[in-house]
Structure 1
Amino acid sequence: MKLLLTSAGIKNSSIHGALVDLLGKPIADATALCIPTAGYGHPQTNPGHAWRFISGQEPRAPMCELGWKSVGVLELTALPSIGQDRWAPWVREADVLLVNGGDALYLYHWMRASGLTELLPSLTDKIWVGLSAGSMVMTPRIGKDFVGWSPPSGSDETLGVVDFSIFPHLDHPDLPWNTMVNAERWAAGIEGRAYAIDDETAIKVADGRVEVVSEGHWKLLRP
């Protein structure tokens, strides 16, 4: 699986170009499934956030409104009730998974509970486009500072598909805690590499290569 791990979606032409490069074709020729699940676990989100994401009415974090050939909704909390034989073909037929922000641990929980985690290794030709928590879930840990919804395990561990962690929304005007000083303190409390990225930055992962794509600012905190 190829990854485009963003802080706030396809915010600029550089990130847009990285997405098209991963696709290998125009966005207008690609099919997408959007996953809104993470938004339901975060204390600062509500159903309106899910609607704006799904309907492509969220200009601060463009994802579903990019002109896809088609967009469907894959709600992970519904999947256990219908069975993998029904929903797995939908995932395999899509080119891209667009994964909303919210709470990364809640998303991780439902990825495992739904069976999507088990399916990921077989999705070698798919592209995962994460937004904030949708990106962080692919990392080994999110760090205790980003724990909102508490999983039964009490851990801050996530999928570990990549070997680095992500501090998103660096220096965001509406998130006064998200400073470089706090990012460095956060990074000191986790193991392995860690990136602090702002909303104009994404991390592209393909064929074992990690590339930072940015029109803003970012920092590798733990080489």
Structure 2
Amino acid sequence: MRLLLTSAGITNGSIHEALVDLLGKPIAASSALCIPTALYGNPMSGPASAWRFITGHTPLPMCGLGWESLGVLELTALPSIGGQRWVPWVRDADVILVAGGDAAYLCHWMRHSGLADLLPSLPDTVWVGLSAGSMVLTPRIGAEFVAWQSAPDDRTLGVVDFSIFPHLGLEPDNTMADAERWAAEIAGPAYAIDDQTAITVTDGVVEVVSEGQWRRFPS
């Protein structure tokens, strides 16, 4: 997959340009599926959160960018309908837009639904993550980012070999000092990124796209 891992969506021109480059064509000519699942695992999300994400009624730009088509892929429903129905939907999409929320909850449903196993067979699909939607692809998220009480630990899918501390600079819990403590606990390569920053991964090459603040923590 081609990855665009953001803290808060497509928040500036640089991240928007990176998205178009990954797609290889205009957004208006691209088909998208959105995944709201992580929102249900976050105790701060209410019943309207998924609706706002899907309809683009949110200050975090993802679904409202003007896609040629937009569908919803709710991971909790997939085990009950079978891969013969939903796998073609995923294969036909140019991009998958993944909401924030609780990354541990999202990780569980990506594994349980079978989506996690499908990812390696999607080399041309673009994954655009927002906060937890980005963190779920990392090896660990840190205990402080786990809100789902059934999570066994803070380990996630490990599609990439670095971890992500999102929303850098948001008070009171996302200061650089908080990021430094988190990175010491993670004890592996990691990035702290603010809402004007994203990370792209293409063929194993990692690049930071930013109009804001970020920091890399080596292992």
Q: Same fold (TM over 0.5)?
A: yes
Amino acid at match of 1:184: E
- In structure 1, distance between residues paired with 2:61 and 2:150: 29
> Who is 1:69 aligned against?
68
> Who is 1:184 aligned against?
180
Amino acid at match of 1:161: V
TM-score, with structure 1 as normaliser: 0.96
Contact 1:99 1:128 in 2 (8 A): yes
Q: How many pairs align?
A: 219
Give, in angstroms, the shift of residue 155 of structure 1.
Answer: 1.3
> Who is 1:134 aligned against?
133
- In structure 1, distance between residues paired with 2:75 and 2:52: 18
SS at match of 1:71: strand
Give, in angstroms, the shift of residue 76 of structure 1.
Answer: 0.2
- In structure 2, distance between residues paired with 1:77 and 1:46: 17
Q: Superposed, which structure 2 residues align to 1:118-157 within 5 Å?
A: 118-152=117-151, 154-157=152-155
- In structure 2, distance between residues paired with 1:191 and 1:79: 35
SS at match of 2:215: strand
> Who is 1:165 aligned against?
163
Contact 1:143 1:156 in 2 (8 A): yes
Amino acid at match of 1:205: V
TM-score, with structure 2 as normaliser: 0.98
Identity %: 71
Amino acid at match of 1:211: E
SS at match of 1:212: strand
> Who is 1:18 aligned against?
18
Contact 1:141 1:165 in 2 (8 A): yes
Deviation by residue 1:17-51 (Cα, 9 ceiling, x = unmatched): 00000001000000000000000000101121111
Contact 1:109 1:151 in 2 (8 A): no
Aligned CA RMSD, in angstroms, stands at: 0.9
Name stretches of at least 5 consecutive residues in structure 1 with no aligned partner. Answer: none
Mean alpha-carbon deviation: is it higher for 142-151 or for 103-112?
A: 142-151
